[in-house]
C-alpha cells in the first residue's frame, strides 16, 4: 500500500486490519507484522524559511533531500540523524517521518536536544482515519496539549505521520575534536567533566579506549574553548569520525545482538564492566551501544532503575525478547490507554508494541 495523499491514507487505514508503517524501512525495530504501508508517496518540502530557521516537509520526504536543501543555505537538522542502515543490514531511503517516529538523534543531542526538541508541529492520521494537526511552525507554542512530543518516538503506534515542521540550525563555521586515549571509567569521567564545564560541548563519546569531545561555533570561540579543555583534561586536537559514532558503524557486519541503552551517565562504566560486552558510549555515557555476540547477557536486568534498553538488532535466538523495556505498571496503563484512544482497532505496527 502506498497512499499518495492524506485522504487516501485515511481510507486505507479505515479498511485495514494490521499495518506495518514504513518510511524507507531503514531504522524500524521490532518485527514486521501486518501489511506494509509505504509512506514514501507522501513526499516533498512544503515550506522552507531560512531566515526563520523553519522547515515543513511531508513525512515521506527522503532525509537526504532535506539535508541537501538545508545545506544549500548552510543550515542543518541540529539533532544529527543516525544512519542505521549498515548496523541493521538494511537498504532503502531514510524518510523524515521515520526519523521522527524513532525520535532518532545523534551525538549533538547533549547540546541541542533530541529530534523531539526540534519538532515544532505534526500532522498525522490516527487509527480512526482522522487527520489531526498539532503544534505548528513557530518556535514557542503552548496552545493545547503537546501531541507533537507524543508522536515523536511513538514508533508509529499512535498514528501515521503525514507532515512535520522543524526548527533548523545554521551550520557553525568551525568544528574541532579533542581526543585522548582513556580507559574506562576515566574516559567517561573526563567526558562528564567536559560537559560540566561552561565550554558548550556538542559531542562527548567514547569508543575503543578513546574519549572524544567536539566543539562547534565561531572560529575564535572554538579555539578558545579547545584551549581551555586541553588545559583542563589533557586532550589533544585530532581528526575524528563523528558519523561513525552516530551510525554505530563499529557494530555493522558483526554477529550478535545490538542494544541501545539510555541511562544515568555515571552508571555507564560499571554497567559495561559488569556485562563484559563491547560498548560504544555517546552523550557522555548517557547513551551506550552494546554488542552481545552470544545474545545471552541480561541487559534489561542491568538497566533496571537506571534507565531503559532498546533491542535495536535482535539475533535469531531472541525471538521472545521484546524490543522495548517493559514499563512500570502505572506507566504501561497510561500508554495502553493512549494507544486505545488513538488506535482503537489496534491497526498500527502490531510488531512494535512491546
Partner 1 sequence: MDMPIPNAAIVACKSAIVARLRSVLPADAVISDPAETRAYECDALTAYRCAPLVVVLPRTTAEVAAVLGICHEEQVPVVPRGSGTSLAGGALPTADCVILGVSRMNAVLETDYDNRFIRVQSGRTNLSVTGAIEADGWFYAPDPSSQLACAIAGNIAMNSGGAHCLKYGVTTNNLLGVTLVQMDGTVVEVGGPWLDSGGIDLLGVICGSEGQLGVVTEATLRILPKPEGARPVLVGFNSNEVAGTCVSDIIKAGILPVAIEFMDRPCIRATEAFAKAGYPDCEALLIIEVEGSPSEIAEQLSRIKAIAMTHNPVEFREAADEDQAKRIWLGRKSSFGAMGQINDYMCLDGTIPVSALPYVLRRIGEMSAACGLDVGNVFHAGDGNMHPLILFDANKPGDLERCEAFGADILKLCVEVGGCLTGEHGVGIEKRDLMAVQFNPVDLEAQLRVKDVFDPAWLLNPAKVFPLDVTAGRRAG
Scan residues 23-52 and list those touching partner 1 (CB under 8 A).
Answer: 49-52
CB of 174 to partner 1, least distance (A): 11
Question: Stretches 1-9, 81-89, 217-225, 311-319: which one binds partner 1 (CB under 8 A)?
Answer: 217-225
Q: Which stretch binds partner 1 (CB under 8 A): 24-32, 80-88, 178-186, 330-338?
A: 330-338
User: Interface with partner 1 by CB under 8 A: which range of 17-25, 32-40, 248-256, 281-289?
Assistant: 281-289
Q: Is 310 in the site for partner 1 (CB under 8 A)?
A: yes
Contact predicate 175/252, CB 8 Å: no
Within positions 114 to 173, which residues make up the interface with partner 1, using CB under 8 A?
114, 116-117, 126, 130-134, 136-150, 152-154, 157-158, 169-173
With b meaning 16 or more CB within 10 Å and e meaning fewer, what string describes 126-153? bbbbeebebbbbeeeeeeeeebbbbbbb
Which CB sits closer to partner 1, 181 or 200?
200
Residue of the chain from 307, 314, 343, 349 that contacts partner 1 (CB under 8 A):
307
CB atoms under 10 Å from CB of 220, counted, come to 10
At 32, is the secondary structure helix, strand, or coil?
coil
Question: Cβ of 254: how many Cβ atoms within 10 Å?
Answer: 12
d(CA 43, CA 61): 4
**Nearest distance in Å: CB 213, partner 1:** 14
| Closer Cβ to partner 1, 62 or 271, answer by number | 271
Give the residue with the Cβ less far from partner 1, 40 or 158: 158
How distant, in Å, are the alpha carbons of 91, 226, 280, 309 from that of 26?
7, 36, 21, 20
CB of residue 67 vs partner 1: minimum separation in angstroms? 17
For 121, the grid coordinates are 508541529
CB-based contacts of 285, cutoff 8 Å, min separation 6: 188, 191, 192, 206, 263, 265, 266, 267, 268, 269
Half-sphere exposure of 276 (CA within 13 A, CB side): 6
Can you tell me the distance from the alpha carbon of 109 to that of 139, in angstroms, rounded to the nearest whole number? 18
Q: Which of 43, 162, 325, 349 binds partner 1 (CB under 8 A)?
A: 325
**Cβ density class 58-89: b for 16+ within 10 Å, e for less:** bbbbbbebbbebbeebebbbbbbbbbbbebbe
**Segment interacting with partner 1 (CB under 8 A) among 35-43, 243-251, 260-268, 311-319:** 260-268
Which residue lies nearer to partner 1 by CB, 62 or 151?
151
- Can residue 184 be called a binding residue for partner 1 (CB under 8 A)? no
* d(C-alpha 168, C-alpha 178), whole Å: 26
Number of residues in contact with partner 1 under rule CB under 8 A: 83
Residue 305 to residue 316: CA distance in whole angstroms: 28
Tell me: does residue 317 bind partner 1 (CB under 8 A). no
Q: For residues 93 and 306, which CB has a smaller minimum distance to partner 1 in the complex? A: 306
**Residues 65 to 104 in contact with partner 1, rule: CB under 8 A:** 73-74, 103
Nearer to partner 1, 170 or 296 (CB): 170
Please identify which residue in 8, 11, 34, 324 interacts with partner 1, judged by CB under 8 A.
324
C-alpha cell at 346: 489496534
Amino acid at each position: 500500500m502506498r497512499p499518495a495523499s492524506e485522504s487516501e491514507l485515511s481510507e486505507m487505514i479505515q479498511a485495514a486490519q494490521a499495518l506495518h508503517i514504513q518510511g524507507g524501512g531503514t531504522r524500524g525495530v521490532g518485527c514486521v507484522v501486518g501489511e506494509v504501508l509505504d509512506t514514501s508517496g507522501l513526499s516533498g518540502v512544503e515550506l522552507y524559511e531560512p531566515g526563520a530557521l523553519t522547515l515543513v516537509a511531508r513525512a515521506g520526504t527522503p532525509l537526504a533531500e532535506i539535508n541537501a536543501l538545508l545545506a544549500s543555505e548552510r543550515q542543518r537538522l541540529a539533532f544529527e540523524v543516525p544512519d542505521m542502515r549498515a548496523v541493521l543490514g538494511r537498504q532503502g531511503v531514510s524518510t523524515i517521518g521515520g526519523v521522527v517516529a524513532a525520535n532518532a538523534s545523534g551525538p549533538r543531542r547533549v547540546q541541542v536536544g533530541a529530534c523531539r526538541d526540534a519538532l515544532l508541529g505534526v500532522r498525522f492520521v490516527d487509527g480512526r482515519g482522522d487527520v489531526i494537526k498539532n503544534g505548528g511552525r513557530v518556535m514557542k507554542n503552548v496552545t493545547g496539549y503537546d501531541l507533537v512530543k507524543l508522536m515523536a518516538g511513538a514508533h508509529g503506534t499512535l498514528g501515521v505521520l503525514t507532515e512535520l515542521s522543524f526548527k533548523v540550525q545554521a551550520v557553525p563555521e568551525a568544528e574541532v575534536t579533542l581526543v585522548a586515549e582513556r580507559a574506562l571509567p576515566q574516559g567517561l569521567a573526563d567526558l562528564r567533566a567536559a560537559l560540566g564545564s561552561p565550554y558548550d560541548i556538542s559531542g562527548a563519546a567514547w569508543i575503543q579506549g578513546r574519549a572524544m569531545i567536539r566543539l562547534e561555533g565561531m572560529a575564535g570561540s572554538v579555539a578558545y574553548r579547545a584551549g581551555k579543555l586541553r588545559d583542563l583534561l589533557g586532550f589533544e586536537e585530532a581528526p575524528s569520525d563523528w558519523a561513525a559514532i552516530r551510525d554505530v558503524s563499529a557494530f555493522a557486519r558483526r554477529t550478535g545482538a545490538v542494544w541501545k541503552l539510555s541511562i544515568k551517565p555515571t552508571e555507564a562504566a560499571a554497567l559495561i564492566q559488569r556485562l563484559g560486552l563491547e560498548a560504544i558510549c555517546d552523550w557522555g555515557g548517557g547513551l551506550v551501544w552494546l554488542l552481545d555476540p552470544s545474545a545471552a547477557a541480561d541487559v534489561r536486568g542491568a538497566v533496571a532503575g537506571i534507565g531503559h534498553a532498546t533491542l535495536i538488532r535482535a539475533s535469531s535466538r531472541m525471538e521472545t525478547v521484546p524490543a522495548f523495556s517493559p514499563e512500570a505498571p502505572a506507566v504501561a496503563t497510561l500508554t495502553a490507554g493512549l494507544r486505545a484512544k488513538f488506535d482503537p482497532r489496534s491497526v498500527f505496527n502490531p510488531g512494535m508494541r512491546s
